[in-house]
Structure 1
Amino acid sequence: MNFNKNISVAALALLLASGGAFAQVKKKPVTHSTTPSAAASQSKSELLPVDANVLIGKLPNGLTYYIRKNTEPKNRAVLYLVSKAGSVLETDAQQGLAHFTEHMAFDGTRDFPKNQLVDYLQKSGVKFGADLNASTSFDETVYQLPIPTDTASVFEKGFTILANWAGYVTFDPAEMDKERGIVLEEARLRGKNAQERLQKQVFPVLLNNSRYAERIPIGKEDIIKNASVATIKEFYHDWYRPDLQAVIAVGDFDPQRVLALIKSNFSALTNPTPEKPRTQYSDPQGVGTSVVIATDAEFPYTLAEIVVKHPETKIRTTTDYLQSVRIGLFNQMLNARLGELTQKPNPPFLFGQASYGSFLGKQDAFTSIAVAKTADDLQGAIKAVVAETERARKFGFTATELERAKQNALTQLQNAYKERDKTTSSSFVNEYVEHFLNNQAIPGIDFEYNFYVSNIGKITLAEMNALAGKFISDQNRVVVVQAPDKEKAKLPDDKTLLSWISTAGNGVTPYVDNVSTEPLLARNDIPRGSTIVNVKKDDSLQVATFTLSNGVKIILKPTDFKNDQILISGYSFGGTSLASDADFPSANFAAGIIGSSGVGNINQIKLDKLLSGKNITMSPYISETTQGISGSSTPQDLETALQLLYLYFAQPRKDPDIWQSNITQAKAFLANRNLDPTNVYKDTVAAVLNNYNFRNLVTTNAQLDAASLDKAYDFYKARFADASGFTFTLVGSFSIDDIMPLLQTYLGGLPANGHAETYKNLNIHPPAGQVTRTVYKGIGDKSTVQLVFSGDYDYNEANNIQVDALESILQIKLTERLREQESGVYSPGIRADYVKLPNGRYTISIYFGCAPANVDKLTADALDEVNKIKQNGASATDIQKFVAEDIRSTQVQLRQNFFWAGYLAGGNQNQENPHRILNHLKDLNSVTVQSTRDAANKYMSGTNLIKLILMPEKK
């Protein structure tokens, strides 16, 4: 669960771990719509319009609605209920009850007593958690409900559900008592750690002791434990009211029918009399600079953050919009400079960022963050980030930087514009949520694109160069340092810290924009290519397979799912399995290093600049059993993408600076890694499940020292020297006839010598038998449990369906038992994995977090649910839920390029029947009570069972 304001990178990280339920909304350049009072003071010609494709209105009771017809995905709709009811509205006695109310909405309403709501939706194919969910933040609570529209009764019931959440939650005392434990377990899962402890030190200063610092959404443990039904009902009565609520519906439906459904379901809701005024809280302006230095024994990083807060800007007019575009360009250019610093052999920081954006409490902020390699390097990290902002303030940007930034921004907007009829419903929903909550303008992509094209030329370099001076200030500024306890003695005092910041810009010189004037691939270097030697067409799948004379195989599936997207992938067998143990550390770095070093004579910095304004991603990879490349493009940029792909084979680049930068950063991350209990536990899990084979464990300092750029480069070249065993898959918006000449040239021109090669089976898999490993690490009162079943596996479609069913059904049972019945966990999970290569293996893992005192009981409960299916099989009702969910998800996937790209490439790699998807829905009938019983006994017998447990340190 996320948070919908860009407080800052560090503060956001703290918030995410705090246990609050937050909603992250991607910000667009436009952030606020007009209001009647604002309209009076602005020329009508300047006001931003409202997208005509969305129907916006209010019921007599004040409830706002947004309705938009959208056909992606087909036969689906996304329904949201948004309430301006968040944690800042809580009284002292209600701290945590905004979030608790959200939980109770799933535990009984007028029309859906107890857990009937979740049960009904699961039978309709809606997954709890993954699809059906809700989030609570400081200022709002948002409920989301994706629903099918091709079944009238289910679709109509969706609006009944939203209305029940809006005004008819019952707050059954017995259900509330059970839910207390679940809320507390959510707090435990997300908190009881370094991030939460640091937050308590930082937030009072960062948020200026405002209401936001005092009302963290997860609330207080004693209130959650003891709050009465009357107290939570009071919060619900005061703030869940139609004049503070909106219903948002976007999907494949008739808008007038939806309007009628909203009126019939929500018109009876009433506002309380008298209404309690909804106070608009803010983060008050501060004077001067405040400093907070916070440490924790388990925090593994040393970082600094500088937050300069400014009054929130309301964007209402085209002038405001253009300024927001300038800010976006400013952020892009500044962070491109910071990104270049990480490519130095000894980068000054592990991570650096500086940007202007929305903050919290009616403020915006210019936020700079630097993550140092160690406490000894903090000064250099801070000065490096601040120096770049000072360089921009003193000398500005260059004309070439601005032109690239404009082109990149235009390309992103063009992407949205070209896909405007293929935009997913959830994208629109997020916009309307922001419009309702924050008056964010929604002019629509047509207006935004045309406005940008018409006005981008009006943005001058002088205007851009003035922004840094506006953003940087020593007033209303907060400087935060966070570090491990053990580094406390090395941290600066307030005076020293501020002196580092004030002197960081001394001696800076103008930025030099080094760009390459070379083409990506010179005309004389374009390969001769190959001829087509074989063609196979499969009309049932609309797939064609070509074999070229150099041995390369190409699988093509044209689609109309996106207007401007082509996905590209290629693989052949071999991978790091062919590296000796001595060379493995070097080989393991090979693809990442070479893929970050540029190509030919063009380094990565120049390559990024050369490709600016183009829709291209392309990355080589080397796994244990394969090497390959994956990326994406548009039809317009396909040739450039294929040239880049070709160069990763024919002219890979070796860059000593990139190598040293990666080694330096890797060692820095290792330095304090073991301070974090989660890292220690994860490392133990990896060690046990990989039978202590060093190839799948965290790289050590000794291995980093033994690794060599020359060995990495040579291994990479060997893996990509022969393309004759490669199979490439392209899916997306193209005509086969149009792209085949390009594919023949660039894929047909890849080096090939016909040398057949495959992987080695290293037999790295979980050990047989029963194993228990307990890790004692951490001071927080929290534990983690993972139960892993594993063994040999006969990989085929029939078995795969049964394992998928077992996973889905056990997820339902574990949630019912461990969460709803025992109130012992927040989010139990199960994951089933099966592979064919290098040999058939499966793992089924059950995992959950809980109180240390409950580990044994909840572990026994989880295994008891497994045993019930082993003895009796799954119930017909749970099988029905699995089948419904699978049918719904399959229907959506069949119209997604990413699904087909993975399906075709993976199926080819595993030599599976390419037509299996055509029979998939029918094959679901093979899941029966008996088949689930057989699958549970076969795959979860307990013969091979590994128990992995994290417990706090013994006192």
Structure 2
Amino acid sequence: MRPAQGQLSLDPAVRTGRLANGFTYFIRRNINPKNRVIFYLANKIGSLVETDNQQGLAHFMEHMNFNGTTNFPKNQLVDYLQKAGVRFGADINAYTSFDETVYQLPLPSDNPEVLRNGIQIMRDWAKGAMLDSVEIEKERGVVLEEKRLGKGAAQRMQQKYFPVLFGNSRYGQRLPIGIDTVLNNFKPGSLQRFYHDWYRPDLQALIVVGDINVDEIEKAIKQKFADLKNPVNEKPRIKYVFTLNGSNHFVKATDPEETSTQVQVLIKRQARPVKTTDDYRTYIVRKLFNHMLSNRCLELAQQKQPPFIYGGANVGSFLGNIDAFTMRLIANPGELEKGFKAVWRETERLKRYGFTAGEFEKAKGDYLKNNENTFKQRLTAYSDQFVGEYLTYFLNGTAAPGVEKEYALTQAIVPLLKLKDVNAITSNFSSDMNRDIIVTAPERDKTSLPDELTVNKWIATIKQENISPYKDSFTQKALLTTQPIPGKVVRQIDLDVIKATELILSNGVKAILKPTKFSDNDILVKAIAPGGSSLYSDADYESANVAAYLVTTSGLGGYSYNNLNKFLAGSTIASGVFLTDYSQGIQAAASPGELETLLQMFYLYFTAPRKDSVAFERYIAETRASLTDRKNSPENRFYDTLSAISGNYSIRRTPPSLEKLNQIDFNKSYQIFRQQFSDAANFTFTFVGDFNIEEVKPLIEKYLGSLPATYLHEKAKDLGIQPPTGKITKIVKAGLEPKATVSLKFSGDYDFSYANNLEMDAMAEVLQIRLIERLREEESGVYSPGVNVRYSKTPASRYVFSISFGCAPVNVEKLIASALDEVDKIKRFGPTEINIEKFKAEKSRTHETQLRANDFWSEYLNDNVLNEGDIYAINDFNTILEKVTPENIKRKANKYLSGNNLIQVILLPQK
């Protein structure tokens, strides 16, 4: 069917069709990542279709599709996918919202059997759930534990303001997580009726994007999904909407565990989804509006004494058929009025004067640059980028014309836009009707919070103020005022085994260059050196800890922080300096055409970092404000305790405080930064991405070869900050909700090597599999147990192996015992052969994809630099992986999970 006049056509690169039963499909070939495919099954049903006694069943049904289908009974589905190299929760996943339920499944596409079974799995998810009553009973606990994780201050306050925010709409009555009375008591027949009524082909679509044969996939879809049948006397899919009646609402909500005072103002209006060329023009105008308004709010936040902790506003989608102009504010303690007026004053300034011509032209140029970069990267874009577009196209009717069409539209529309087009948005959303004001705060501020009349008076006062027009302080100028004297490449080393090249410059700087074609128009650049704050005393630690942040927020060259952002807007340049415990450096990204600008920034960070006392005073003010109610949060108290114990109560690991804040000396911070970036010969720079070595060499010689060098080659100092030995248990009692959080940490000295690291990863993965099977599937006691291992060589070879989960307080001891029992089984018997095979499959498949990703290589090269590792070890991956056996993991477990050094930290409710 041809689109109507002005209607945007669907991306011609995707093949779409609709079967006789109403089932829809979208198929697109995309070769990045290679030998991979992503399946999405979209269902146009969510919590809104639930009856009163079904609240939560849409989400529960999502869970049940992983607990037994026609071709994969009980837990065979997860088991099969793990053997194929797919991780449960990380790769295979799903979500339920108000209007939709969506399942996702990434798979290898170079295995015909796995590919066939992938389509069978999607067919089973569409209409093949077993809904076994025993499995339903087991899953109740899992769903209730997921619900428990969301309980706390935010959820309690939402219960107070959601009725206002959602009005009398269906959205306020059907939160996807459901209600306890239904989740605890529904009969299997109720879930089966929901499934029968709503999982039907006329409400479903399959989206397939990846390295596949489109003809074969289409044929398989027609064979598998054509026999799906819609129910007799099917229920109509009612389109629930918000009805705007012009009324305003105001609500206050406080909670003893809330950590800040916040205000949201929402001015609602009917949404205008993007379907036509004219809609797309409106979409661009909004993007420009939000970009310029964001810059103005950012300038407010850059003041010496910011009027708020955070303040911002934008126009965007709200829910369903409604858009909203939304103002958000996190106030400084005791300064709610000041912060509110500061942001509202900007909206009033916009109403009176609009944006300036200079702001507008800059924003248009930036938008065109961003659009051009997206266009240049289209041939190496990842498949998930396309899946998201087709998903919203099916679910919401939002246009998905494709990158080429959007590029052509943008190039045609943006140059013709007028300033009045953007300024008109302000009047569209500047209304005293359909306005919601929501104030949330700590309980102790309950009596001092304003009422609706007071906030309305604040708004009225702003309307009467004599507000001057906005003055843009930005002036385009060069980053460097003088050009550096280039150095020379004195030695070039071919690292053929990893297809890279190492350069040694005349000032001692090392650079490792790995050109790739994994992502067009993209280069990742990092610089790293050992040292960090470990080289400074505890008395100077607080100054060292914020040194990189203060330099970053000071700006660069002749640009303030805000103007630097404006200078870089529209580019792909992203750059940040860091100074951690044991290293310092820069991590950045840019397109090939922007590499020189990026390296100029590197040069300035080393030679002339900007020092701005306003940035320092702003940081102090913001941090002091954030500390006021920080301890209200039980989660903060738990993780503060965990950090302090794990760091053996080093002053560098105890919680932030006003006393620590007062120790920061701005001059000392700046001095420390200059010292740590004074010896370029101690740094290694890595370049990974879309570049030609001979073309970038002159830039490297000019901007890196000219950097200062002291040749001291400092190393990080071992501070001895490590978890204490022995068995330690600490109970933290905090919080009102009946929920607990558990952290178990094994730690000690470690034999760091590529092979040992891989085996430690294996041990974590096989234990993760068992804890999911036991704590979640068998005992129904947790939602998502986590197992993690960290190992490091700098400054000393150490490891930390962690197990964590949330649960009901009454189940803490039982579940800890079960977790430790699984650890003991690995020590006594080793993991099962099948779980080792699952790890190998997942790790091997992940490794294949990583080898074709810039970010992986950038991280790998830098880790090897910092840990002085064997840069060629990665080529032994397959050999080392093959040697991972149950017996080897058993030995690892007995060595590193002995339990002699075990820290248990448990968060329990106050009562």
- TM superposition score category, shorter chain reference: over 0.9
Residue among 475, 497, 508 paired with 1:551: 508
Alignment-derived partner of residue 690 in structure 1: 647
Instruction: Give 1:529 deviation, angstroms.
Output: 1.7
What are the equivalent positions in structure 2 for 1:449-464 lying under 5 Å apart? 449-464=407-422
Note if 1:76 corresponds to 2:33.
no
**Conserved? CA contact 1:312–1:363, under 8 Å:** yes
**Conserved? CA contact 1:68–1:251, under 8 Å:** yes
Instruction: Give 1:517 deviation, angstroms.
Output: 4.2
Alignment-derived partner of residue 69 in structure 2: 109
CA distance in 1, matches of 2:790, 2:148: 28
Mean Cα displacement is larger for which, 175-184 or 456-465?
456-465
**Conserved? CA contact 1:208–1:286, under 8 Å:** no
1:49 partner SS: coil
1:483 partner SS: strand
What amino acid maps onto 1:73 in structure 2?
A: P
Note if 1:226 corresponds to 2:188.
no
**Conserved? CA contact 1:393–1:466, under 8 Å:** no
Instruction: Give 1:518 deviation, angstroms.
Output: 3.1
CA RMSD in angstroms comes to 1.1
CA distance in 2, matches of 1:834, 1:280: 52
Note if 1:178 corresponds to 2:129.
no
Note if 1:253 corresponds to 2:219.
no
Note if 1:774 corresponds to 2:731.
yes
Residue among 61, 85, 93 paired with 1:125: 85
Residue among 642, 646, 667 paired with 2:624: 667
Residue among 916, 928, 945 paired with 2:885: 928
1:417 partner SS: helix
**Conserved? CA contact 2:123–2:225, under 8 Å:** yes
Alignment-derived partner of residue 28 in structure 1: none
Note if 1:410 corresponds to 2:398.
no
Provide TM-score, normalisation by structure 2: 0.99
Note if 1:388 corresponds to 2:346.
yes
CA distance in 1, matches of 2:437, 2:457: 12
CA deviation profile, 1:39-75 (whole Å, cap 9, x unmatched): 66xxx2x221221100111011000100000001001
Note if 1:798 corresponds to 2:755.
yes
CA distance in 1, matches of 2:568, 2:319: 36
CA deviation profile, 1:162-194 (whole Å, cap 9, x unmatched): 111111111100000000000000000122x11
Alignment-derived partner of residue 606 in structure 1: 563
CA deviation profile, 1:217-248 (whole Å, cap 9, x unmatched): 01011211111111001111111000000000
CA distance in 1, matches of 2:822, 2:530: 40
Alignment-derived partner of residue 383 in structure 2: 425
CA distance in 2, matches of 1:316, 1:204: 31
Note if 1:574 corresponds to 2:526.
no
Alignment-derived partner of residue 167 in structure 1: 127
Alignment-derived partner of residue 145 in structure 1: 105
Residue among 153, 166, 179 paired with 1:207: 166
Alignment-derived partner of residue 19 in structure 2: 59
What amino acid maps onto 1:460 in structure 2?
A: K
What are the equivalent positions in structure 2 for 1:595-744 lying under 5 Å apart? 595-744=552-701
What are the equivalent positions in structure 2 for 1:333-352 lying under 5 Å apart? 333-352=292-311
Alignment-derived partner of residue 867 in structure 2: 910
Alignment-derived partner of residue 157 in structure 1: 117
Note if 1:762 corresponds to 2:722.
no
Alignment-derived partner of residue 848 in structure 1: 805
What amino acid maps onto 1:268 in structure 2?
A: D
Percent of aligned pairs sharing the same letter: 45
Instruction: Give 1:282 deviation, angstroms.
Output: 1.0
Q: How many residues align?
A: 910
Residue among 217, 234, 245 paired with 1:286: 245
CA distance in 2, matches of 1:608, 1:259: 47
Instruction: Give 1:268 deviation, angstroms.
Output: 1.1
What amino acid maps onto 1:493 in structure 2?
A: D
What amino acid maps onto 1:90 in structure 2?
A: E
CA distance in 2, matches of 1:429, 1:157: 20
CA deviation profile, 1:480-527 (whole Å, cap 9, x unmatched): 0011111111101110012112323422211100113431112xx111
**Conserved? CA contact 1:81–1:247, under 8 Å:** yes
Mean Cα displacement is larger for which, 907-916 or 803-812?
907-916
Alignment-derived partner of residue 224 in structure 2: 265
What amino acid maps onto 1:702 in structure 2?
A: E
**Conserved? CA contact 1:384–1:504, under 8 Å:** no
**Conserved? CA contact 1:773–1:949, under 8 Å:** yes
Instruction: Give 1:286 deviation, angstroms.
Output: 3.2
Note if 1:360 corresponds to 2:319.
yes
Instruction: Give 1:602 deviation, angstroms.
Output: 2.3
**Conserved? CA contact 2:479–2:558, under 8 Å:** no
Instruction: Give 1:540 deviation, angstroms.
Output: 2.1
1:743 partner SS: helix
Mean Cα displacement is larger for which, 463-472 or 724-733?
463-472
CA distance in 1, matches of 2:414, 2:27: 32
2:491 partner SS: strand
Alignment-derived partner of residue 443 in structure 2: 485
**Conserved? CA contact 1:784–1:848, under 8 Å:** yes
Residue among 388, 401, 410 paired with 1:443: 401
What amino acid maps onto 1:117 in structure 2?
A: L
Q: Which runs of 5 or more structure 1 residues have no equivalent in the other structure?
A: 1-34
What amino acid maps onto 1:165 in structure 2?
A: W
Note if 1:563 corresponds to 2:520.
yes
CA distance in 1, matches of 2:460, 2:746: 57
2:524 partner SS: strand
Alignment-derived partner of residue 392 in structure 2: 434
What amino acid maps onto 2:601 in structure 1?
A: L
Instruction: Give 1:450 deviation, angstroms.
Output: 1.3
1:696 partner SS: coil
Instruction: Give 1:463 deviation, angstroms.
Output: 1.7
What amino acid maps onto 1:498 in structure 2?
A: N
CA distance in 1, matches of 2:755, 2:850: 20
CA distance in 1, matches of 2:79, 2:237: 35
Alignment-derived partner of residue 546 in structure 2: 589
2:572 partner SS: coil
What amino acid maps onto 2:208 in structure 1?
A: A
**Conserved? CA contact 1:829–1:847, under 8 Å:** yes
What amino acid maps onto 2:399 in structure 1?
A: A
2:470 partner SS: coil
Alignment-derived partner of residue 10 in structure 1: none
Note if 1:99 corresponds to 2:59.
yes
**Conserved? CA contact 1:286–1:477, under 8 Å:** no
What amino acid maps onto 2:822 in structure 1?
A: E
CA distance in 1, matches of 2:631, 2:868: 42
1:934 partner SS: helix
What are the equivalent positions in structure 2 for 1:322-337 lying under 5 Å apart? 322-337=281-296
CA distance in 2, matches of 1:904, 1:770: 37
CA distance in 1, matches of 2:889, 2:832: 9
Note if 1:373 corresponds to 2:369.
no
CA distance in 2, matches of 1:694, 1:378: 33
1:568 partner SS: strand
CA deviation profile, 1:6-35 (whole Å, cap 9, x unmatched): xxxxxxxxxxxxxxxxxxxxxxxxxxxxx9
Residue among 39, 44, 47 paired with 2:7: 47
CA distance in 2, matches of 1:751, 1:928: 50
Note if 1:810 corresponds to 2:810.
no
Q: Which runs of 5 or more structure 2 residues have no equivalent in the other structure?
A: none
CA distance in 2, matches of 1:625, 1:593: 18
CA distance in 2, matches of 1:711, 1:362: 54
CA distance in 2, matches of 1:517, 1:818: 59
CA distance in 1, matches of 2:29, 2:136: 38
Residue among 254, 267, 274 paired with 1:308: 267
What amino acid maps onto 2:186 in structure 1?
A: A
CA distance in 1, matches of 2:857, 2:660: 39
